[in-house]
Structures are given as C-alpha cells and as structure tokens.
Amino acid sequence: MSGQIYISYRREESRWSARSLHYRLSRDFDSRQIFMDIDNITLGADFVQVIEAMVAKCDVLIAVIGNNWLTTKDDYGDRRLDNPQDFVRMEIATALKREIRVIPILLDGARMPRPVDLPDDLKPLVRRNALRITDTSFEGDCQRLAGTIRRVLENAAMPTPTPAPSSTPAPAPGATASSNPVFYKTRGWEFHQGKDYDKAISDYAEAIRLDPTYAVAYNNRRRPISTKRNTSVTPGRSNRRTTSVEQI
C-alpha cells in the first residue's frame, strides 16, 4: 500500500513516545512510508519551504500531543506555539491548510487544547477527532490508529475525479499550458482514463515540477505507476484488485 505518514511531535516531551509509535506503526506499514524527523535540511535551505514541501507529500499527519505540548517554552521563555516559525506549529498548520488528514494523539492524560489557547492557524485542530493512547491499552489503541490510516491511504490512492472540461476553472490571467499545473493534472487524468499510463505519469510529473506542493498530483500519479508495475509483473492477468476495509 502506498501513501505517506508524517509524525509531528515535540522532542522535549514526546520523543520516546513518538519513537514507540513509529516502531509500532512499522508493523503495519513500510517504515519508508513513515516520516518523523527533519534532521537533514541542507545548509542554506529555507526550512519553512522544506517543511511545507514534506508535509504536502503526506496523506496523514499524526499530531502527538503530551501534557506540555501547549505550554512548552523556548530558551527565551516564550511559548513555542506563539512563534510562527515553530516547527510543530508549521507542520500542523500546513497540513490543516492543505486539508490533509490530521489525527491528534493524546498521551499521558493530555487533553485537546481549547481554541482560545491556540494561534489562528491551529484553531481548526480542535475540530479533529482525537485518539487517546495509554500505556495500558497501547496495542489496541495503535491497532485502531493503523486501521484508520489504512483507510485514508486506500482513499488517497484513488484518482481524484476531474470535472468535465467545460466546468474546469480557467487558468489565471497570463497563465499558459506550459506554466499551469492544473492543466497537466487534468490532462494526466484524461490520459489515465484512456489507459495511456506513460503520458499520464509524465503529465502528473510536470504538474508536480511546476508546483512541488500539489498534493492531488502526487496522489493521482501513484495510480498509473501502480497499474504499470502490476501489469509488468503479471502480464496477461486482470489488473483488478480487491481491497478490504477494516472497520473500527
């Protein structure tokens, strides 16, 4: 199963809990699908752009919240969440803005923060249904989390339906086919429907090149790649696959 999972956490309070969660989820998903630490940002790179690009590629963001998540302070005595460049704030805010599935995980009896306690770009977080994980029910809690993530990834692997050409929004003034990622995403979908998978992959790749944060193009590109791979491995067999959805 393809798809990306991003674990957001505060190292000061949740490092070991986050690593335990990563280890447990690796039993259900390829560890290469689970991203947890931004330690390899190139010197001189804009870390805001790097974080936004990494989060934009994920299908699920797990927000690990401990008892001090809301009140943790920096070396100057200021609350970290009040800093727009706080890594945790940027990760979650980016996912919320891009309508990526955000799953709050409450540890050690932590409670969901109130809207009044959050900066504006994090206020939508309080409307996300949270999962409480405890040491006494860790295995069962993680099974429920894995089941939810599995369904999200299965849905993300399905191509996003594209409106008919007559209802497709027109490019912005001055935009051309060569500079408009929506054009390539739309044409890629048409090639995909016509089973011209190489051209579909090429157009999705061009859409991503023009807009590296284009999550829909990333999601749609996985389908023709997967179809080609299955066809090449089992020539002559049907490409239909049956998936089962685990109920929580």
pLDDT at 168: 47
In the chain, the N- to C-terminal Cα span, in Å, equals 19
In whole angstroms, give the CA distance from residue 100 to residue 59.
6
Structure tokens at 139: 């295995």
Helix-strand-coil split of the chain, %, nearest 5: 50, 10, 40
Q: Look at 49 and 94; give whichever has higher pLDDT.
A: 94
What the chain holds in terms of domains, given with CATH numbers, is 5-156 (3.40.50.10140), 165-233 (1.25.40.10)
Res 241 pLDDT > 60: no
Instruction: Calculate mean pLDDT across residues 4-33.
Output: 91
Q: Pick from 32-46, 109-123, 191-205 the range whose average pLDDT is largest.
A: 109-123
DSSP-based three-state secondary structure for 209: helix
Task: Band the pLDDT of 38: cuts 50, 70, 90.
Answer: low
Confidence at 208, pLDDT banded by 50, 70, 90: confident
